[in-house]
Amino acid sequence: MSQTEKNGMISTGNSDLDSRLQQWFQWNQNEDQNVEVREMMEKQDVATLSKLFLERMQFGTAGLRGRMGPGFAQMNDLLVIQTAQGLLKYLQGAFQDLAGRGVVVGFDGRHNSRRFAELTAAVFEQAGVRVNLFAEVCPTPFVPFAITHCNHVAGVMVTASHNPKEDNGYKVYGSLGTQITSPVDKEIQRCILESLEPTIAWEVTLSPDTLDQAQLVDTAEAYYAVLKAGVFNAEANAESPLNVTYTAMHGVGYPFIVKAFEVANFKPVIPVVEQVEPDPEFPTVKFPNPEEGKSALNLAIATANAHNSTLIVANDPDADRLAVAEKTRQGDWKVFTGNELGALLGWWSLYTYQRRTPDPDLSNVYMLSSTVSSMILKTMAKQERFNFEETLTGFKWMGTRSAELKAQGKTVLFAYEESIGFMCGTGVLDKDGVSAAVRVTELATFLQSNQGLSLSEKLNYIYSFYGYHISEISYYICHEPEVIKKL
């Protein structure tokens, strides 16, 4: 028995910490994590124990995201159960038709993602709420799409996106198929704190209704139908001279990209075989984020060079972001920034809309970007006389505003954020790396076949016509919740 645990009592010298530890052992049934906590107690590591148990991971507009491990400040079974119970309580108060409309739950390929998704489904199922649980890993954009397609009141995606392998996360979408905004996050956090004691069995057995995939299969078919409807020239795509290399970055994207390229009438992508299957260890990359540039794309570049490929498209592990690299005429590789891709996709979105729509009235057409992104779309809007709106940082704002505009009968062509997030149309009211990969490949095909241009050359033309928009972007990584909160 630990020196801090005698006669069934815990004594660390801090009564608040003792109470939290007692609560943890009372509720948590993950014995591996209980052993880990007792080892810390044996070592009298009060500083680490205080950090893990006196602090609590806060639910925000991005849900939860953080390191996996024991304690109320990390991602684990108990924290997920508490979060799901709080979300359930909030939705019960907000939607009288919750039980019938239900929720959708998806997950990526990270450690514990399936487990966290099943625990969430169990919480809602026990309360008599209809649950659509994806049976296998899926891209994040499939969850918001399923919400609107199936008329769910909410959705949960278990993912930490492109974070390090030690992390996981819990993202919540509202009834519009958009990420939640304040004050909803604060209401959910309040409900979580009122729902801390677990009410479900630790060993999850889900009902056949929850495991039934019929509606989710229909959802996937509907997603690809929307994607196909947006294809500009299927015949030209079939004749595309491009060999496209694709990396899933050890994430979920590959089978969905394969289907998307088939639907768009492209020949199959050339996969980076070392990175094509979901692998929670991310063994070939230091950081599974294609936004890192060449350091994350070295295997993709090697694969492309070996297959006479001049275009690389890369998703992050949950396939909601897209990175693109192009081989220049000089034989070097250019990795595009998010702002550069935003300029290219903005131009393409407008061009294809004008060609599809006889005598287009651009007074009801919109594009959006967030305040941390380039203002290239704003400049385009002034020149071409469509509408541009700038939002606060994050797709939660662009998605929500797009939903409002759509409800007013407006047409939202495109929205983006510099961190390689792109929303092409309003089929998914969030960033979508699958559809964006198809649109970039369509653009590259069109440019090469019709204008003899590369993406880089077209970008220079866009800048020479609308004005140069230059940016220098970097980031800092912070793991301290209090510092993040202050920022």
Spatial CA neighbour of 279 closest among 437, 171, 137: 137
Residue type, 281: E
C-alpha 5/C-alpha 50 separation (Å) is 16
Active site residue 207: no
C-alpha 483/C-alpha 234 separation (Å) is 50
C-alpha 186/C-alpha 82 separation (Å) is 15
C-alpha 324/C-alpha 463 separation (Å) is 19
Helices and strands, counts by H and E, the chain? 19, 16
C-alpha 250/C-alpha 90 separation (Å) is 35
Helix (H, G, I), strand (E, B) or coil at 435: helix
Which residue(s) pair with 365 in the sheet? 411
C-alpha 155/C-alpha 354 separation (Å) is 35
Contact in structure between 314 and 300 (CB atoms under 8 Å): yes
Whose tokens are 């994207």? That residue is 253
DSSP string, 351-372: HHHHHHSSS--GGGEEEEEETT
Hey, what are 304's tokens? 């492309």
Q: What is the CA radius of gyration of the chain?
A: 24
Q: Which of 11, 15, 161, 373 is catalytic?
A: 161
C-alpha 138/C-alpha 116 separation (Å) is 14
C-alpha 480/C-alpha 457 separation (Å) is 43
Which residues have a Cβ under 8 Å from the Cβ of 440 and sit 6 or more positions away? 313, 322, 324, 341, 344, 345, 455
- Give catalytic residues, as residue numbers: 161
